[in-house]
């Protein structure tokens, strides 16, 4: 070891010793991370904050992402309906209703499953606000018992431009499903979102909760009565798994929210639809259905055994060391399903694993058997922790894949609003082509930090190119973040902020106001 390395090692030890005994607030400027633990409360806070940067419509006075402004205030006008609000899907300016509803379902599931933990972390109000921004839009989009608006904006036209949502001048084309042109996946997912959200608001806003449940029942009836696979958002979001998973998913949530036996009978009589799968995503909801209904199985409803068997098959497909392993991990330990936006599958899988491990623990079950391998609830949770920690910085790149968390994170997010100067600092319009030439092609970091955004993630070799043009790896989406909110909420009881490796010189620790 060189003399300089010894000196720097001693200096670092002294710094850490001082920080650990300090009571003057300096310790909060240290990276809250290690192979052992991260500041999960901070990660949760930022993951929820991300949704403010994705808002469409008229922004409230409480808006913390100050680089954003009002946008798309006439959405729905061609059909004389109000479709203002909701979320932009990813780094573009389109509102895709199907994945948006899935995002809302995941956020609501987290609010229901981890209500106490999130409340203790003082983030429950912000989470409910994020949910409501989505549910308000879904309520507006369901304009009649057999009509649901499923998309605002032409995806092809939008992707030809690189402009801020505040400047947007691409067509705000409207897409809808009706009894004559059904889209069961989109309607059923909207039903799931509203019923899950009705539980999230139960006891908080009873009138709103009741309204959500009523609309959810209407959407489910529409989805089930007029069956047909949804094609409206293709080629951007195409249904590959069919619509049976969404019908089961929405019926399960309706049973949870209403207690109505007819929804229980629906999932019971149609459990033959349930399949053993190895992914949980905006397209394939089977693992989510199975997780919900396995809890009912352990609660005494033994006629739902197929759901319990199928979700355990899902877990066995993911756990390293399982004799029925289907999804491998990278050399750095990350679950790897497919290359495009792989972290969506990591975060969603972790959410299922987290909820099921809690179910096992609450039911005093010692774990699950995967052939010759046995996994306890704590081992499953340890695996979740490894995945979450990888995302937050414990990986071969030594970087966080969440913007604004830690000392090193993506700087060239594939995101229009983040990559172009804010309308507040640059009020002149940035045209469609101007955005490409001046900002998309720039080698500079994005001028607006989209705090909390989780990117698509590294490649199969644990490598990440921080390039705006590499959308498969550098673009955030609402459903990546929504699932991460659930995964990290499961770890809140282990949250700690440790004085470790690097001084956090460039990390903002206060999420009240992001310029």
Element (H, E) at 369: strand 368-370
Name the residue among 109, 116, 127 with its Cα closest to residue 192. 109
The 8-class DSSP code of residue 48 comes to: H
CA dihedral 86→89→93→95, nearest 10 degrees, is -50
What is the C-alpha R_g of the chain? 23
E strand intervals along 124-214: 147-152, 174-178
Which tokens hold the place of 120? 């203790």
CA distance 287 to 357: 14
Distances (CA, A) of 291 to 191, 279, 488: 18, 13, 18
At residue 95, the 3 state secondary structure works out as strand
At residue 40, the 3 state secondary structure works out as helix
CA distance 45 to 351: 17
How many residues are present in the chain? Answer: 515
Selecting among 414, 415, 450, 473, the annotated active-site residue is 414
CA distance 354 to 107: 14
Q: Is 414 a catalytic residue?
A: yes
Q: Is 466 a catalytic residue?
A: yes
Q: Is 475 a catalytic residue?
A: yes
CA distance 422 to 16: 38
The contacts of residue 223 (CB under 8 Å, 6+ apart) are: 182, 184, 187, 188, 191, 243, 246, 247, 250
Selecting among 70, 136, 459, 466, the annotated active-site residue is 466
Contact in structure between 281 and 345 (CB atoms under 8 Å): yes
Selecting among 42, 75, 296, 475, the annotated active-site residue is 475
CA distance 429 to 163: 9
CA distance 134 to 190: 10
Q: What are the backbone angles phi and psi of residue 175, rounded to the nearest 5°?
A: -125, 140
For the annotated catalytic residues, the residue numbers are: 414, 466, 475
């Amino acid at each position: 070891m060189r003399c300089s390395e010894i000196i720097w090692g001693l200096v670092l030890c002294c710094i850490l010793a001082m920080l650990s005994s300090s009571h003057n607030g300096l310790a909060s400027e240290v990276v809250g991370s290690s192979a052992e633990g991260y500041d999960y409360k901070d990660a949760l806070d930022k993951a929820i904050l991300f949704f403010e940067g994705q808002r469409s419509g008229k922004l409230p006075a409480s808006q913390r992402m100050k680089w954003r402004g009002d946008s798309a205030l006439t959405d729905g006008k061609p059909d004389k309906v109000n479709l203002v609000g909701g979320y932009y899907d990813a780094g573009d300016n389109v509102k895709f209703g199907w994945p948006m509803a899935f995002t809302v379902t995941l956020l609501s599931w987290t609010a229901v499953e981890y209500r106490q933990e999130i409340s203790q972390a003082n983030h429950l109000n912000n989470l409910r606000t994020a949910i409501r921004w989505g549910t308000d839009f879904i309520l507006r989009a369901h304009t009649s018992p057999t009509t649901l608006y499923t998309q605002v904006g032409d995806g092809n036209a939008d992707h030809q431009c690189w402009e801020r949502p505040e400047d947007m001048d691409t067509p705000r084309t409207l897409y809808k499903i009706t009894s004559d042109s059904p889209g069961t996946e989109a309607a059923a997912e909207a039903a799931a979102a509203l019923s899950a959200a009705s539980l999230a608001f139960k006891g908080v806003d009873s009138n709103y909760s009741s309204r959500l449940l009523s609309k959810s029942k209407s959407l489910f009836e529409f989805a089930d009565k007029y069956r047909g696979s949804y094609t409206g958002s293709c080629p951007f979001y195409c249904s590959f798994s069919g619509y049976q998973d969404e019908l089961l998913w929405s019926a399960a949530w309706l049973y949870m929210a209403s207690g109505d036996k007819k929804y229980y009978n629906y999932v019971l009589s149609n459990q033959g639809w349930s399949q053993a799968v190895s992914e949980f995503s905006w397209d394939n909801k089977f693992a989510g259905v199975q997780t919900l209904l396995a809890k009912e199985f352990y609660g005494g409803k033994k006629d739902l055994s197929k759901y319990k068997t199928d979700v355990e098959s899902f877990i066995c497909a993911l756990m390293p060391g399982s004799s029925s392993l289907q999804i491998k991990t990278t050399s750095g330990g990350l679950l790897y399903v497919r290359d495009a936006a792989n972290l969506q599958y990591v975060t969603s899988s972790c959410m299922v694993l987290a909820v099921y491990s809690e179910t096992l623990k609450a039911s005093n079950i010692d774990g699950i058997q995967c052939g010759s391998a046995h996994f306890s609830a704590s081992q499953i949770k340890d695996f979740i922790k490894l995945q979450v920690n990888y995302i937050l910085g414990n990986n071969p790149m030594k970087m966080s894949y969440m913007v604004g968390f830690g000392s090193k994170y993506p700087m060239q997010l594939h995101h229009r609003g983040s990559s172009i100067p804010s309308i507040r600092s640059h009020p002149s319009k940035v045209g469609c082509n101007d955005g490409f030439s001046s900002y998309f092609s720039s080698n500079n970091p994005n001028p607006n930090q989209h705090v909390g955004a989780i990117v698509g993630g590294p490649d199969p070799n644990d490598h990440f190119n921080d390039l705006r043009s590499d959308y498969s790896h550098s673009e955030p989406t609402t459903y990546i973040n929504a699932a991460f909110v659930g995964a990290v909420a499961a770890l809140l009881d282990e949250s700690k902020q440790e004085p470790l490796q690097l001084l956090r010189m460039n990390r903002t620790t206060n999420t009240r106001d992001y310029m």
